[in-house]
Structure formats: structure tokens, C-alpha cells
Chain A
Amino acid sequence: MEFQPTIISFLCNWCSYTGADLAGTSRMKYAPNIRIIRIMCSGRVDPTFVLKSFREGADGVLICGCHPGDCHYHEGNYKCLRRFKLLHKYIQQMGIHKDRLRLEWISASEGRQFADLVDNMTERLMELGPSPIKEIMEIA
């Protein structure tokens, strides 16, 4: 069977989670590889969450927040962006491909964009194959 990646994603409650809900209410089909965790703000995404996800066997991690300027808490998404930039460098040094971690802005009306994003990321991860961490951690 073809390799099926698992993506852990962190969606902010106000924009991105609502956008994902909209994809559902609009019955847009996308790859079933994503697992969504709801957080209040993308600014809540602690780098350890991402590392933990890779450690537990995720093949990719996706963080979604409100578009710049739209943050419900004014600037949480900017803070997230700053952390993401550092983290992105860091995971590459750990031997994780940069495409395994993504930060995207999804607004509450962008159900279609969310669905496309999931498909797109799944496809990329299929190309990349299983996460190298899984082997080290002896996960399937």
C-alpha cells in the first residue's frame, strides 16, 4: 500500500478552525491525512508542540492562523510567525525536511483554500516519504 502520511495541524479558533468547518459544511473533499487540534490563537503554538508531534510520529505539521492583521488577539499570528521562522531553521538542522512544517494563513471564509492546502501538503509529504524521526523513534 502506498505510504499515507499523518499531518498534525494546529488551527486557531477564530479564523482557521472556522475555515476548516466551512470546508466541511461546503462538503469539500480533501485528503484524510490531517488531524486537527484547536487552539485559541496561533500564538499559542509552542515550539515543543511541533517537536512533540514529530517525536510521536507525525510526518508533517501544519500551523494555521488568521491573516496578518486579522488576529482576534491583535498580534498573536505575528508572534507565531516569528517563532515559526526560527523553528523552521531548527528542524532542518535536526534532519527534518523544511516542507514538513508549514505555517499558512486561513481565514474563516477560506474553506476551499484549506482543503487545497491539505491536499497539497499531503501530496508533498507522500513524495518525501515517512518522517526520518519515526525510524529513530521506532514507530511504524
Chain B
Amino acid sequence: MEEPRIGVYVCWCGTNIEKVVDVAEVAKAMEKLPNVVLSKNYKYMCSDPGQDLIIKDIKENNLNRIVVSACSPRIHELTFRKTLEKAGLNPYLLQMANIREHVSWVHDDKKAATDKAKSLVAAAVTRVNHHEELQKRTVDINPATLIIGGGIAGLTAALEIADAGKKVFLLEKTNHLGGVVAGIDQSFPYFDSAQQIIQQFIKRIKQHENVEVLLNTKAENITGYVGNFKMPLPMLGIDAELEFGNIIVATGLKPYDPSAIREYGYGYLPNVITSLEFEKMLMSGKIETKDGKTPEDILIIHCVGSRNKNCHEYCSRTCCMTALKFATQLRSALPKANIYQAYADMRSFGKDCEELYLKASQKDIMFLMYDQQKYLPEIRRAPNREKCEMLVEIEEILSGDMVEVPADLVILMTAMEAHEDVKDVARTVGVSLCGNDFFIERHPKLDPVATTTDGVFIAGTCQAPKDIPDSVAQAKAAAARVLSSIDVGQVEIEVTTAFTNEDLCCGCQTCISVCPYKAIGFNEENRVSVVNEILCKGCGTCSSACPTGAIRTRHFTDKQIMSQIEGMLSMTKRKSKKTELEV
């Protein structure tokens, strides 16, 4: 590599730095450091004339390393990198020293501040000596997309992408599309026909020229990385293979099996049914007990399998509103029936859903509150002298009484849970699952559709329980990401990634165990670790864990940081003992 020729620029930032730090002295001190060709100070480095100064100097003095000591690199590192690019220099040959936020704004003592500034700039100078040219890298994106799951989320995402004219492979493990929504009669809070909606979706999907539906197909053996995934289709022939650039996982939910809850007697009490079974009754118009009797007393129990340590600790988000929907539907179908709801907290939070709660309570429905953690309602068969089928004992909280509720039909609002095979999907697409077997998003707040694996997105209830509009919104959000990456055609990948020096690697695989992105693989043949730089995010944890120093993180190499430490402490050292810097 050519000899470093460093230019140092100390910014005044008006009076912001200049008032506390003697910028001229700092600049002067830097001149003495090895490889420093010139050292200047200027009022506003970030201004256009300031940047022009750098460009001019680079061209005139043949500089190949630049140190700018000014404000925080979080503010202007990108600005100056662009300046270097303009001057024809690799942008990573820049180092900034933060002498505003970390010096002039936090210290009053001019002398101490100037000393500190000197040591920070010196550190930047010693560090920049070891900077390397780094190239931006991109990969091409295959415009096709794989969507796993044919429920409402998968269908929405597929339609959004296909409507934009891009190819979609829609995978569904069962023999029909529609998912859970296909088993629902009406939606809350406006009581639209879910059937009408889902059938329209399915019709459009089937007619769409850009969508290829693969029923009875599971997602297996997916290989590749963002932009270039592959999946074999053995049933279509040995070489049949799908190629796609992005994956949307929309595997949806499975209703909880309530037979595990002893109190409810699901399975042996014939008239205890789950919410999805009740939807079927609603669709057929035959709301009746197993004996064909029209029920007079109907109890809806909330939080079955949710919010309880013995089942699932999480809230399934939709059951309260579904229960209110059921109550309203029941009131319409059976105007004279007695309808009861046993709830824990009424979570009717959606748009117009509190209104639904009010509407339901105006329809003569009895709401009973129970403790979903300690005292579950207990259902037992009614003795023969009773008119009703069952008697339910509830420890009612709002009144503090133990009450008995007669019931001919009990509807259990079962929780949403992850499919059993979700682990296989997670493994094949390289996304981790949380403790409840839902997919983990990249960021719980600001990135709910992306995952830590680039090119793999999640949508709908496989991420967490949610209702139809939220699933649809998330599916569209995932589609937005996919479309945007297809539209750009390329994806830029992290430059400051880790890489291994295979000669030094001893094959201990420590790095593999610490990598949070599963970006490091093991080459069995050579017994060395190999970094997949497309997956690496450059956190550097592997570098510090590596016992031999074989794995290095670009732009944050040991050498760079060590020299920074040296540079930082060189200014104090120099005063007494003129040791040469070991650069």
C-alpha cells in the first residue's frame, strides 16, 4: 500500500469549538505527527467552502487520508465521506475526531480542553494511518417473491406484489386458500361478511397471471441469501426449483386446543364448543345444541388459553372483540336467548370496537368478570331436574359473589397459537422464534415486518396475534419492502463486515456461537470459519471473541483501535519522555 499522506482539518464551528479549544494550537501540534502532510484550521468545515478546501488539498497535495476534527461523526461523517468521494478518494479513508460534543461543549477549562482535543485528533491521525479502502457492495434482486401461507396476510401480500406486475409464488401447506378467515362468518366491528371478502381474494388470486399458487406444499430446504433464494420442488421433478429474491412468511395461527383445561370439560361435554366451531354454526344458521335444541342460555368464556401461566401468558388480542361480535350475532339470531359473557378485562381497543362493546351491552347481555389466572369458571353437567344442559360456577369479581350460570351452549374463546411446524419454517428461512413460537421481528417498535435476515419478512399472526386489518396492514407493509427492493433492483449490503483470515483460524467455532445473525458458517473441509458477508452486520462481537485474531471487522480492526488508543495517550506521554510513536 502507498505511503499514507494525511491532511488534518480542525473546525472552529464558528465560536462553538474555537471559544474553548485553541484550534490553531491543535492544528499545529498535529503537523509533527508522522505522515501528516498538512494541518489546517477553518471556521466551518461542513460549509461548502470548507469542503472545497479539502477537495482542493487532496488534489494539490496528493493526500490519501483525511482527518476532520469537528462535531460528532453521527452528524457529519456522511457529509465528509461524500466530500472524499467527490475528490476521488475512497470515503472510508476518513476519520473524524469529535471535539465539539465531546470537548468544547462539555468543558470550560481551555487548557484541558485543548489538550483533550489534541489527544483526540492525534488518535484520529494514528488511526487513519491504518484505514483501508472499502468498496460498497450490492447484490441483484430476483424480482420473484415467495410467500409462505395462504391466509389473509399471505393473500394480501401476494395481491399487492402481483398487482405491481411482479411474480409471486404462493405456498400453502393445506389444500385450500383462505386460512382461518375462511372459517369465519362475519368480521367485527362492522359485521361485514368475511366470506365475501376472502372469496373475492381467492378469486382474484386464482385469476391473477402473476401469482402461482402451490397448494399442499411446505416451505423446505430454502437456500441462498437476500435477492437470490432457491427452493427445490421435488414433487415436480428432480430439477424443479423456485427462484426468488424475497420471502414473506405468513404462516398464520392455530387455535388453541382447550381440552387441556380441565374446568371447561371440552371434549366430553358435548355442548362446550370453540369459537371456530361456533362460526360454523353461524354460517349454517343452525345454532343449536347437540340434541338439536335451540339453546336458551348461552355462555361465552373469554381468555381460554390466553393470559394464564398454565396455557399462554400472552393476550390473543382478538378474542374479546370476537366475543362481543358473537354476543351481538347471537342476539340477532336468537332474540329471546339469555346471553352471558365471562371475561377478564374487556379489550375492545380497535377502531369502533369500544362502540361495539357499548352496542353489545345495550342488547341485554350479561357480562360477568372472572379472574383468568386464579379462578376459572367450572362447567358441569346440569342435574336432570334442571331445564338447562350445564351449570357453570363463576367467581364473579364485580359483585364479589359466587354465582351459578345456567347454559345450554358454552363458547370458548380459544387463544391463537403458533403452528407446530413453525420451527421448521423458522429454520429454513433463518429467522428466530420468540419464547411463544412467534417470529421475531427486526425491531419490535420500528421494524415489525422485517427480520434479522435480509430478504425475509413476516406478516400476520405468525408474528403475534392480531386481527384482520392489522394482519392486512402488516402484509401490505411487507409487500412494500419487497416491492421497494425489487424496484431498486439491487440491495446494498453492509461494508464494515467481518472476514476471516483462514491461515490464522484454528477452527474453534467460538465466533459461530457468538454471532447474533448466523452469518458465520463452518467450512468442514478446511476446518475454518467463513463469514457470509451478506448476512453480517458488522457488530464485531466475533472479532473480540476470536482467540487468534483470525476474524477481523472492517473499519474496526484491532490495529485501528489499538493505534487509536496509542494516539490518544501519546500526547500525555510525549511531555516527559520523547518516545517515538510505534506507528
Verify whether A and B have any Cβ pair under 8 Å.
Answer: yes
| A residues apposed to B, CB below 8 Å | 4, 6, 8, 13, 17-18, 20-21, 23-25, 27-30, 32, 34-41, 43-49, 52-53, 56-58, 72-76, 79, 83, 115, 138-140
- Determine the distance from Cα of A36 to Cα of B543 in the docked complex, in whole angstroms: 20
Structural contact, B516 and A75, CB atoms closer than 8 A: yes
Main SS of chain B's interface residues? helix
With the chains together, A4 CA to B571 CA distance in Å? 14
Residue contact B573 to A37, C-beta cutoff 8 Å: no
Q: A44-B556, A53-B565 are in contact. Are A73 and B123 (CB under 8 A)?
A: no
**With A23-B106, A24-B105, A30-B106 as contacts: A44 and B539 at CB distance below 8 Å:** yes
Chain A residue at minimum C-beta to C-beta distance from B117: A32
The 8 Å CB contact of B72, one of A21, A30, A52, is A21
Q: CB within 8 Å of A: which of B99-123?
A: 100-103, 105-109, 112-113, 115-116, 119-120, 123
Question: Which residue from A30, A36, A43 sits with its C-beta under 8 Å from B98?
Answer: A36
Some 16 contacts from A to B, beta carbons below 8 A apart, are: A4-B112, A21-B74, A25-B101, A28-B106, A35-B569, A39-B556, A40-B553, A43-B540, A44-B553, A49-B561, A52-B562, A53-B569, A57-B569, A75-B516, A138-B577, A140-B575
List the B side residues contacting A8 at CB < 8 Å. 565, 568-569
Structural contact, B573 and A139, CB atoms closer than 8 A: yes
B568/A41 in contact, CB under 8 A? no
Given contacts A27-B105, A138-B577, 9 further A-B contacts (CB under 8 A): A6-B569, A8-B565, A8-B569, A23-B101, A24-B105, A36-B120, A38-B73, A53-B565, A79-B514
Closest B residue by C-beta to A114: B106
Residues of A within 8 A of B98 (CB): 21, 36
- Chain B residues within an 8 Å CB radius of A4: 112
Residues of B near A57 (CB, < 8 A) are 569, 572-573
A-chain residues with CB within 8 Å of residue B107 when the two chains form the complex: 29-30, 32
On chain B, the residues within 8 Å of A75 by CB distance are: 516
A98 to B388, alpha carbons, bound, how many Å?
A: 74
Q: How far is it, in angstroms, between the C-alpha of A39 and the C-alpha of B338 when the chains are bound?
A: 66
Tell me the nearest residue of chain B to A44, going by C-beta: B540
Out of B101, B112, B561, name the residue touching A39 (CB < 8 Å): B561
- A32, B116: Cβ atoms under 8 Å? yes
Q: Does B496 touch A at the CB level, under 8 Å?
A: yes
Chain B residues contacting A138 (CB-CB under 8 Å) are: 577
A41 surroundings in chain B (CB, below 8 A): 539-541
> In the bound complex, what is the Cα–Cα distance between A35 and B553 (angstroms)?
22
Q: In the complex, which residues of chain A have a beta carbon less than 8 angstroms from the beta carbon of B553?
A: 40, 44
**B545 / chain A contacts, CB cutoff of 8 Å:** 79
Residues on the A chain within 8 Å of B514, using CB: 43, 79
User: Are B106 and A43 in contact, CB atoms less than 8 angstroms apart?
Assistant: no
Check A24/B102 contact, CB under 8 A, given A40-B538, A41-B541: yes
Return chain A residues, CB-CB under 8 Å to B424.
Answer: none
Q: Is the CB of A37 within 8 A of B539?
A: no
In the bound complex, how far is the Cα of B112 from the Cα of A44, in angstroms? 29
Q: Which 4 residue pairs across A and B have the least CB separation, nearest first?
A: A24-B101, A44-B540, A43-B541, A73-B539
Residues 520-547 of B at the A interface (beta carbon under 8 Å): 537-541, 543-545
Interface pair B572/A6, CB less than 8 Å apart: yes
A32 and B74 form a contact (CB under 8 A)? no
Instruction: Knowing A49-B561, A52-B565, say if A73 contacts B73 (CB, 8 Å).
Output: no
Assuming the A-B contacts A24-B102, A40-B539, A46-B543, are A32 and B575 also in contact, with contact meaning beta carbons closer than 8 angstroms in the complex?
no
Is the CB–CB distance between B100 and A18 below 8 Å?
no
A24 pairs with B100, CB closer than 8 A: yes
In the complex formed, the residue of A with least CB distance to B72 is A21
Residue among B103, B538, B544, B573 facing the most chain A CB atoms (10 A cut-off): B544
Q: Report the minimal beta-carbon distance from B215 to chain A, rounded to whole angstroms.
A: 36
CA A39 to CA B73, docked complex, whole Å:
12
Query: Contact at A43–B539, with CB atoms within 8 Å?
Result: yes
Mask of B560-582 contacts with A, CB within 8 angstroms, 1/0: 01101110110011011100000
Interface string of B55-77 (1 = CB under 8 A from A): 00000000000000000111000
Q: Are B72 and A58 in contact (CB under 8 A)?
A: no
Known A27-B106, A40-B538, A40-B539: A21·B544 in contact at CB below 8 Å? no
